[in-house]
Amino acid sequence: MNMLATLNQGMVPQAETAANVLAAQAKAQVEARYMMAMHRPRNWDAVRQDLLKECRRPSFADNTSTYYKKPVGGGSSVTGLGIRFVEVAIRCMTNILTETTMIFEDDHKEIHRVSVTDLESNTTYPQDIKINKTVERKSSAGREVVSERLNSSGQKIFVVIATEDEMLNKRNAAISKAIRNAGLRIIPGDLQDEAEHLILQTRQSGIKEDPEKYRKQIVDSFNNIGVKAQNLVDYIGCPLDQCSPTQIDELRAVFGAIKNGETTWQTVMAEKTEQELSEGKKAPSNDINAVNQAIQQQG
């Protein structure tokens, strides 16, 4: 008994020492970052120059995570600068700190705190994100089902326990979105507007120079996620070899939104059908099953 008490007494100081060491390390790191920011402040002319140089690179401008398009209902969509742009802008601005910390976890969810700090102005934008440990799947084979529901097309969707790989993807996607949102609040608005204009200009000029190359690339990209060429024809409303540079760029933006988990092809087609009905371009069907079947075939 005395030996156990002695052992416990010896472990407490060791734990306290380890905690003190970690706290001292964290304090030293924070102080060093702020000290570097004070001694090497950013030059806004250099920041603008470096960022616009990146925006002129076709490989950067064409990246689906640099600029995205997301359908939001009613036939409308939201476009904006993505996580890849924010990452490059943060690097060009210098003296920006991004941090991610897990602050809670149980069997059902994780909660992470994501913060982006401008070390020069001492401005921080934090955001807590909740990540449920489940995913939605059309098939429940071999999975632990938590619940089920019907989607807008009448299909049964299963909510299942996420695997480690699925949780990694969900976690990375959620953290990236939080960093993007917080980062855009730190990057000056006029710099964002100028960069966005140059990105779109770079995209358009690349497509105009070699439309065949970009058309094949986008068809192959959609094929890799299960969307066939005929589905793209139905979406655009004309043969793919007759697509304008603007239509090709629109397809690329839609692909980026799907790839980044912002939407699905089925949702994109449902939004387009809704838009056509509202504009009177397509006669409404009284057979809801036929409509659902058509949407499923598109997906």
Is residue 15's pLDDT more than 80? Answer: no
Distance CA 223, CA 234 (A): 15
Give the tens place of pLDDT for each residue, 194-207. 999 999 999 888 88
Closest by Cα among 298, 256, 277, 244 to 78: 256
**Structural domain count, the chain:** 2
Give the tens place of pLDDT for each residue, 223-260. 998 899 999 998 888 888 888 888 888 888 888 888 87
Contacts within 8 Å (CB) and 24+ apart, 20-23: none
Q: What are 224's two structure tokens? A: 């890799």
Residues 210 and 290 reside in one and the same domain: yes
Residues 15 and 47 reside in one and the same domain: no
Residues 158 and 212 reside in one and the same domain: yes
Give the tens place of pLDDT for each residue, 19-63. 788 888 888 888 888 899 999 999 999 999 999 999 999 999 988
As beta bridge partners, residue 148 has 158
As beta bridge partners, residue 127 has 114
List all residues 6 or more positions away from 25 whose beta carbon is below 8 Å from its beta carbon.
none
Residues 13 and 156 reside in one and the same domain: no
Sheet holding 156-161, edge to edge: 134-137, 156-161, 145-150
Position with higher pLDDT, 64 vs 106: 106
H helices of the chain, in order, are 2-39, 44-55, 58-61, 83-93, 164-186, 189-209, 211-224, 229-236, 245-259, 265-278, 288-298
Q: How confident is the model at residue 291 (pLDDT cuts 50, 70, 90)?
A: very low
Residues 36 and 167 reside in one and the same domain: no
Instruction: Report the relative pairing of strands 109-118 and 123-132 from DSSP bridges.
Output: antiparallel
Distance CA 247, CA 6 (A): 75
Count Cβ atoms below 10 Å from residue 136 Cβ, excluding itself: 13
Give me the pLDDT at residue 285, please.
46
- Mean of pLDDT values over 130-151: 90
Residues 30 and 100 reside in one and the same domain: no
Residues 121 and 254 reside in one and the same domain: yes
Residues 32 and 66 reside in one and the same domain: no
Helices 211-224, 229-236: crossing angle, 10 deg rounding: 120
Distance CA 63, CA 252 (A): 9
Domain holding 30, by residue range, is 1-40
Distance CA 137, CA 27 (A): 44
- Mean of pLDDT values over 128-142: 92
Residues 178 and 100 reside in one and the same domain: yes
Q: What are 77's two structure tokens? A: 């969509």
Which among 97-106, 268-277, 285-294 has the top mean pLDDT?
97-106
- Mean of pLDDT values over 279-284: 57
Q: How confident is the model at residue 192 (pLDDT cuts 50, 70, 90)?
A: very high
Residues 34 and 51 reside in one and the same domain: no
Residues 127 and 192 reside in one and the same domain: yes
Residues 46 and 13 reside in one and the same domain: no
Q: Determine contact, residues 261/64, Cβ cutoff 8 Å.
A: no
